[in-house]
Amino acid sequence: MCSPPWLSSGAQAIAVPFEDMQDILQRLTDLMVQMVEFMLSKLACVSPNGSAIAPSFAEMGAAVEVIIKECEGSLEEPPGAQPATSHGGHEDTQEQDEDNYEDNSLSEDHMLILSCCWQTLKICCTVSSMCVSQWLNYFSEVLLEKVLRSVVVRVLTGTRHKGAIEGARTAYSQICQVLLNTNSKIGQLVYKQVREILDQLREGVRTSVTRRAAGMAMMIQAACGAAPQTNALLINETIISLLSITETEYEEKSTTDSPPVLALHVLHSLVSHAPLAYHLMYHIPAITATCLQAFTTDSWALRNAALQLYAAAVPRMVGQKKVREDSSTLNSLTAPEFLFRHPVLVDSLLHLLSNSEDARETHQSFSHFMDMKMKERTGCKNEQLSIKISSSIVPVLSLVARLSPGTELQQNKELNDTLSKFCQVTNRLLGSPVYTIRRLSSLAIVALTPVEQTHFYINNILHVLRIPEVASTNMIHGNLFALKSFLQTYPKLIYDQHLKDNIVATLSWLMEANNKCPIIDALVLNIFILLQVSITVDMKPLDPFQPGMAEYLQNFTTIKIEHNFKDTVEKVLLSEHELEDPCIEHVIDSFKIHSDGSWRCKIEALLWQRLEDKPIIQRALLPIMKLLCALLEFDDSLNCVPSEKCIKKLLILLQGCYGTKAASLTLVVIAHIFNKLQDNQWFGNEVKSDMFFAFSKTISLYSEPASTDDYRLAASKALKISVKGLLYFHEDVDSAYKELLIVACTKLLQDEDSNIRDSACQIVFSFLDSDHANERNISKQTLLDMKNFSWQPHSKVLLHPNLALLEFAKIIVRRCVCTSDWSMLRVIWKICSGQYNCNFSLLYMSKSSLFESHTMNSYEEPKQLSQTLAKAMLDTLAEAPATVVQNSIPNWLQEEGEILNKNGEILGKLASQQTQLATQKKLFTATSIHIIALETLLSLGNIFNIPVNLSSPITWNSSCFCTLLDI
């Protein structure tokens, strides 16, 4: 269809009379209004409020199902039509799989109707913005307001669908940009609509608590951000109005947001909008003060909205993080510069911290800072207000802790006095009874202390710690936190030997036996670790259930391992204490340095014994599994054979009942056992068979695309360690288990995660390392016949997954040629023919999952996989000597031909009956794989001189999807 002349672009566009153009735009606007109202009414047909209020997602889903049922009732089924599921013996499979389908699966009809609705809404908004941008002069003020209000704004506030409201926001932003950049009065429409929204908020309008003012926030953000350089007045008026709305009284409701909450959500959208950053600099202090005030309310919705706004406002003031280390001085604004830029906010922050009175928050201190209106509105008791002050102090300290230390250069007296006051009040908070306040105060002290005064303040801390009778336990803990923060911020302090000795001498009394606070002991040990000093005291006999005891044991063990590695590791493994993650990482790194074989053998025996003795608890067994993995990776063989009880525990952990990490580590440990344990060291064939079964099943499960990244990576590591031995040298491994391992390798080589694909490529290298030297089960005559058979391994350059997949298949086929065992060749053939990926009997299903994993994996291409494996099989067999190939002939080629014939019949019936687009795509992929399989099987039959009867292959036809032709 040709476009109307008035829509054509370029110099030859036909001019349309002014009245006709206005009439066209009027009719187009009316049509879009009708379409928007129709779609919104359909999506809200089951909502009790109709389309006046945006329906919930559940109501929209129910509405779509109602539409589907209405359409099904109005359509008559053609006479003689058969359901697409009547394919002989596949009806039971259909019923079973439909029962197992997840609840979040959507039918093709559901997705089609939903897409139609939101795409229509989006297109109406897009057309509206295009019309206003192209033909603004033809719009009257009334018509323009109708387009804005009845089309774009209606979509923004009338639906929850993300695609629709995102399209409406883009359209609204474009329209506002056009209107605000014009010199005519028509641009006042934007001001008018923003003021209407603000008036609605003042009058008490409410929206659903789950919307977070989505439509309103998007409108105001688009209006203010459309032309920020020309409408600064609109931005300033909007922010001032929103700040005043946050102070209005409200009635708390659980299902709807109050006006102050909506105002905070709108402010959050403005603060997070980058084009408005310059214009918001003046308002950021007031916005921050509003957030601090909102933190003290009883309303969860108000506190939550304030928290989101505060998280967006703080980076605007102090800057974004620039380097990875949190303690880096490059990450933020310096404290003196912050005090200079925001003097009004600084006074408020200082007032709040000063009124805390040694961190004992009371009702009186609250009244000195907060407005009386807040007390009347909240109606809180004294003990409640004590908690509320803490809820404000913590955000204030978090803000100050984000700053970086400054210098004493170019600072006036007033600024120095303010900085000194901040240090004084923050220093008092080091003795707060609240742990979080002490921790944040220590970070804030470092940020507020100029670089030149670092040594002076550290000496003050040491002076406090030298007089234990004056300082409370909380004050000691807070000052230790501050000392630790200084050492982390300035790592070069450890090279000051005088300061280092002074710190060690001052803190030594805290390590004495009469000090029985594990929290303080752990912090002292942490400081000693930073100073890189050793300790001579023994571990205190403390209650293991005391707070801080776990961290104390961890730090104590870390120091001991650093200076006496071998003895400490042995003592820990013989004790009842558990190693924590930092200690484990340190031990693993030390394994690389200490290469004493006898000592490693002793440690391995202790680990197996500890595994046998410990109960099956994740916290107890996880460190053991980490150390076993590391130790077995460094050694070429098992120094100690695990007991039968250990093997059974490994099988229990492999089930995944005790966490993902434990199961993943166990899988790697079992792979090492398969790779290093000799046949005569097993506890009978039954135990070995059970481990084979559990290992292969777990590998198959973990390699699935829907499993977690940790599982898939663990499966890849385990296969790299053991797959070659399991496929080549373990004669008692059942062929079904080998099949699972081969299929798992192909899945991992097609994984969507690049790290897992790279790890899976190492599986191929594990074959290539010494594949040419492994001659077990290969006869002398076979080796002589294979003198021209290429076995040269590639260099260890990271292969592309597709190349690795090709090489992997060739390795398997070569092994089959050498041993005349064609069972593994059949596995490669099954993967090539799609028997693992394409379930032909389930292609009739027109459902898909909302959150189906692996749907966007560009490395998972079934057709490409079939072509790659077919090439690997045919090329490798063509390279093999003819005498080797003809010595033994596969007995399954004709069976596979019958399977292909059955699949061809199913595909033919499905292609003639299915009409859904998604099903046709599945059929297209399945048919492509089927055709490749047909050609490959015929070629295999020719190579082995076995006639394969393919009675009904599928071929392409230009007039229809596919046809069945007889050979």
Q: Tens digits of per-residue pLDDT, 396-451?
A: 999 998 888 887 665 678 888 888 888 888 988 898 888 889 999 999 999 999 88
d(CA 261, CA 177): 28
Cα Rg, the chain, nearest whole Å: 36
The band of 776, judged by pLDDT with boundaries at 50, 70 and 90, is very low
In this predicted structure, what is the pLDDT of residue 544?
67
Residue 419 burial class via C-beta count within 10 angstroms: exposed 0-12, middle 13-18, buried 19 and up: buried
Q: Does the pLDDT of residue 483 top 90, yes or no?
A: yes
Residue 497 burial class via C-beta count within 10 angstroms: exposed 0-12, middle 13-18, buried 19 and up: exposed
Of the ranges 164-178, 466-480, 751-765, which one carries the lowest mean pLDDT score?
466-480
Q: What's the pLDDT tens digit per position in 627-653?
A: 888 888 877 677 778 888 888 888 888
Q: What's the pLDDT tens digit per position in 853-893?
A: 344 455 567 888 888 889 989 988 888 776 656 666 777 88
- pTM of structure: 0.67
Q: What's the pLDDT tens digit per position in 273-328?
A: 888 888 888 899 899 999 988 888 888 888 888 999 999 998 888 877 665 565 55
In this predicted structure, what is the pLDDT of residue 593?
67
* Residues sharing a CB contact under 8 Å with residue 26, sequence separation 6 or more, in sequence order: 143
CA distances from 743 to 707, 755, 809, 839 (A): 15, 19, 11, 16
d(CA 73, CA 65): 12
What's the helix, strand, coil split of the chain in %, to 5?
Answer: 70, 0, 30
Q: What is the DSSP string of 678-703?
A: -GGGSSHHHHHHHHHHHHHHHHHHHT
In this predicted structure, what is the pLDDT of residue 32?
94
